[in-house]
Chain A
């Protein structure tokens, strides 16, 4: 249990997936203009990453390792993730239209999110078992959600600020993220 808590805190705060590992930057910078959309994206990411880390780790332990095909992991993982996202989208559309309404638009974007593949590969490299992988995946995605919601909040405030002309748009967002990254360093004392 203690191990799992350490993994969770490490993945969500200390090694935050966007701010210290730079995975999933595209949605982080792209969909962080409003708090609601940012939270929606975060929800979709939590859903997909938790599911995909469970499935990829099952496939890795029970198929790839058993058949000595571990070197195929990149190919297998990316295909599984792409298929999974499609499948989740169809499933939600059919059986949970309300959830689909709120997450639907973000799902197609997630396939290209490197955080999903990144988590799957980290799980393998750190030799996590299946439970640990799921916890790691979930916590990483929660960390992503925390970061993107905070950034969206900051950007909503920044809209009315007087930003130098050249820094408008992307540069000021990058600087804000940099400052957030410094703030997140504070968590490294936690573990």
Chain B
């Protein structure tokens, strides 16, 4: 049981996918125009993450090592399709708000990353909890970015008016550039905290592409070597 709680804590705080690992940046920026959309996207991803972690962990001894990545992708894509059809059927408003980003959950690096680094090596229960932890961490990240953008952009949170109605919304924050600015501010804040604690900066690929970590780091190394 302890291990399960540890996985939850790990996903929510220690290795929060949005703020610490900086994984899955595309949906993070694209759908967080409001807190509600962020929450919807986060929960959708969580469902896919739990199910795929569970199944991959159950099949980890069956899948041959050489074809594991295609196998994982097929499993993930099946769940994404399933979730997409369910959303279309039961929550059509969310389905149309998230649009193309639902099928794109397939290429979200968090999911493949967890499959590769955790679910393929651990028991089904622990993997499912890892999925819950990571998914909730992602949801918290998306919802908070969505909240910041919504309150600055229109003065509301979850559609409820927070700031006085005389507040003139800064529309830029719910448009594309706002996403970049909010994320920049949040990352700078995080750097500030890290610097003041005197910890060394994260090693490896900290500089840019935390997203799509392994492959991109690999690519950078290769680019360096090629020069």
Provide the residues of chain B in CB contact with A96, threshold 8 Å: none
Closest chain B CB from A31 CB (angstroms): 7
Contact assessment for A170 and B208 in the assembled complex, using a CB-CB cutoff below 8 Å: yes
Within the assembled complex, what's the spacing in Å between the Cα atoms of A175 and B178? Answer: 9
Indicate if A153 sits at the interface (CB-CB under 8 A). Answer: no
Indicate if A154 sits at the interface (CB-CB under 8 A). Answer: no
- 29 A-B interface contacts by CB (under 8 A): A22-B29, A22-B179, A23-B26, A26-B109, A27-B209, A29-B209, A30-B212, A73-B103, A74-B80, A75-B74, A78-B107, A109-B212, A109-B215, A111-B215, A117-B104, A118-B104, A122-B100, A166-B188, A166-B189, A166-B191, A169-B206, A169-B207, A170-B207, A174-B181, A174-B183, A174-B184, A178-B180, A181-B176, A182-B177
Within the assembled complex, what's the spacing in Å between the Cα atoms of A67 and B13? Answer: 47
Closest chain B CB from A116 CB (angstroms): 8
Q: Which residues 81-122 of A sit at the B interface, judged by CB distance below 8 A?
A: 82, 105-106, 108-109, 111-114, 117-118, 121-122
Contact assessment for B73 and A105 in the assembled complex, using a CB-CB cutoff below 8 Å: no
Contact assessment for A37 and B80 in the assembled complex, using a CB-CB cutoff below 8 Å: no
Within the assembled complex, what's the spacing in Å between the Cα atoms of A71 and B173? Answer: 35
**From B100, B179, B184, B189, contact of A125 by CB (8 A):** B100
Provide the residues of chain B in CB contact with A75, threshold 8 Å: 74, 77-78, 81
Contact with B along A166-185 (1 / 0, CB 8 A): 11111111110111011001
Could you list which residues of chain A lie within 8 angstroms of chain B, going by C-beta atoms? Answer: 19-27, 29-33, 37, 71-75, 78-79, 82, 105-106, 108-109, 111-114, 117-118, 121-122, 125, 164-175, 177-179, 181-182, 185
Chain A interface, >50% SS class: helix
Known A26-B212, A30-B205, A175-B180; 8 more pairs at CB < 8 Å = A22-B30, A26-B25, A29-B209, A75-B74, A78-B73, A79-B77, A168-B191, A181-B180
Contact assessment for B70 and A30 in the assembled complex, using a CB-CB cutoff below 8 Å: no
Q: Which residues 172-223 of B sit at the A interface, judged by CB distance below 8 A?
A: 172, 175-181, 183-185, 187-189, 191-192, 195, 205-209, 211-212, 215-216, 218-220, 222-223
Closest chain A CB from B9 CB (angstroms): 25
Indicate if B226 sits at the interface (CB-CB under 8 A). Answer: yes
Known: A30-B220, A75-B74, A109-B215. A175 touches B181 (CB 8 A): yes
Indicate if B84 sits at the interface (CB-CB under 8 A). Answer: yes
Within the assembled complex, what's the spacing in Å between the Cα atoms of A83 and B155? Answer: 47
**From B70, B192, B219, contact of A79 by CB (8 A):** B70
Contact assessment for B77 and A74 in the assembled complex, using a CB-CB cutoff below 8 Å: yes
Considering the complex of A and B, which 6 residue pairs feature the smallest CB-CB distances, nearest first? A30-B209, A178-B180, A174-B184, A22-B30, A181-B177, A75-B77
Provide the residues of chain A in CB contact with B226, threshold 8 Å: 105
Known: A118-B104, A121-B103. A30 touches B74 (CB 8 A): no
**From B107, B216, B222, contact of A114 by CB (8 A):** B107
Contact assessment for A167 and B188 in the assembled complex, using a CB-CB cutoff below 8 Å: yes
Within the assembled complex, what's the spacing in Å between the Cα atoms of A113 and B25? Answer: 11
Within the assembled complex, what's the spacing in Å between the Cα atoms of A164 and B184? Answer: 13
**From A26, A72, A121, A167, contact of B216 by CB (8 A):** A26
**Chain B residue with Cβ nearest A155:** B208
**From A27, A82, A117, A170, contact of B103 by CB (8 A):** A117
